[in-house]
A and B are shown apart, each in its own frame.
Chain A
Amino acid sequence: MATIDLSKLVTADMKAAQTRQARIAAIIAERERRLGVGFAYDFGDTRGVHRIATSEQDMRGWDEVTKIANAMLALNDPVSTIDIVTEAGPVQVTAIEWQHILIAAAAFRQPIWTASFALQAMNPIPLDVTDDQYWL
């Protein structure tokens, strides 16, 4: 009689769980890609419209600028400027202007997070999680 190592048995439930985990990983990868695309921000003056980068590395820079802006606001300094570099080039912003950029970034980024959570909650998760219809 041949012996069978049932510890190597992969059940339908296990396969479904593996598939789901793989699709969740794909959703997270797509979310990161979309978060990193960046967005256009209109300063509404001579500085014009700048494309602002939002890759993971860029977001570390955002944290730095946000700390500086928060310190300025805590010191009631609405005038001093912070040097930042967008994809259009260097530009100066006040602490308040930086807050506006943060709000604009939230408007760009939050729907992406929301869509990714909705996708992860689907059962079954769609095969093509990169389809725009799931991210609008």
Chain B
Amino acid sequence: MIIQFCPQLRGDTLSLSRAGDRLIVNGDTIDLSATPDGAELPADAISNDWLVGTVRRIADVLHLTLILPHDADAPESVRFPADIVDPADGPITLPGEA
């Protein structure tokens, strides 16, 4: 799984964890296991507003983009976040988190 981020200045927060092909976004589980290799799902097919852009499974790796909320004085690592590549199951440390 490769998670990219779309940083947005906004007041809410994001918590993220992974369980295989399932991503839990602020408590809402997004099960992407039905996306076969080579396929893609537009964001509007998934009822979760944190997910933006198209979800793709390329070479058996899921690629997706999530909104990353931040405040006005967020560090560069949050405003220009690195991708998270192949996170382990469990809670995911987001850019800017210790």
Instruction: Please give, as numbers and ranges, the residues of chain A lying within 8 Å of B25 by CB-CB distance.
Output: 2
Tell me whether A2 and B45 are in contact (CB under 8 A): no
Taking the complex as formed, is B89 at the interface, i.e. its CB lies under 8 A from any CB of chain A? Answer: no
Q: State how many angstroms separate the Cβ of B59 from the closest Cβ of chain A.
A: 11
Tell me whether B48 and A12 are in contact (CB under 8 A): no
Taking the complex as formed, is A6 at the interface, i.e. its CB lies under 8 A from any CB of chain B? Answer: yes
Tell me whether A4 and B36 are in contact (CB under 8 A): no
A90 to B36, CA, bound (A): 63
Count of residues in B whose CB is under 8 Å from the partner chain: 20
A66 to B58, CA, bound (A): 56
Tell me whether B34 and A9 are in contact (CB under 8 A): yes
Instruction: Please give, as numbers and ranges, the residues of chain A lying within 8 Å of B40 by CB-CB distance.
Output: 9-10, 15
Taking the complex as formed, is A128 at the interface, i.e. its CB lies under 8 A from any CB of chain B? Answer: no
Tell me whether B38 and A15 are in contact (CB under 8 A): yes
A8 to B32, CA, bound (A): 13
Tell me whether A4 and B37 are in contact (CB under 8 A): no
Q: Which among A3, A4, A15 has the greatest number of chain B C-beta atoms within 10 A? A: A4
Tell me whether B31 and A9 are in contact (CB under 8 A): no
B25-39 Cβ-contact flags toward A at 8 Å (1 or 0):
100111110111111
Nearest residue, chain B, Cβ from A14: B39
A93-115 Cβ-contact flags toward B at 8 Å (1 or 0):
00000000000000000000000
Tell me whether A4 and B29 are in contact (CB under 8 A): no
Taking the complex as formed, is A11 at the interface, i.e. its CB lies under 8 A from any CB of chain B? Answer: yes
Tell me whether A4 and B38 are in contact (CB under 8 A): no
Q: State how many angstroms separate the Cβ of B30 from the closest Cβ of chain A.
A: 4
Nearest residue, chain A, Cβ from B50: A2
Taking the complex as formed, is A1 at the interface, i.e. its CB lies under 8 A from any CB of chain B? Answer: yes
A66 to B36, CA, bound (A): 56
Tell me which of B30, B38, B42 contacts A2 (CB under 8 A). B30
Taking the complex as formed, is A83 at the interface, i.e. its CB lies under 8 A from any CB of chain B? Answer: no
Tell me whether A10 and B28 are in contact (CB under 8 A): no
Q: Which residues of B contact A (CB under 8 A)?
A: 25, 28-32, 34-42, 44-48
3 cross-chain pairs, A with B, having the tightest CB-CB distances, nearest first: A12-B38, A8-B45, A2-B48
Q: Which residues of A contact B (CB under 8 A)?
A: 1-12, 15
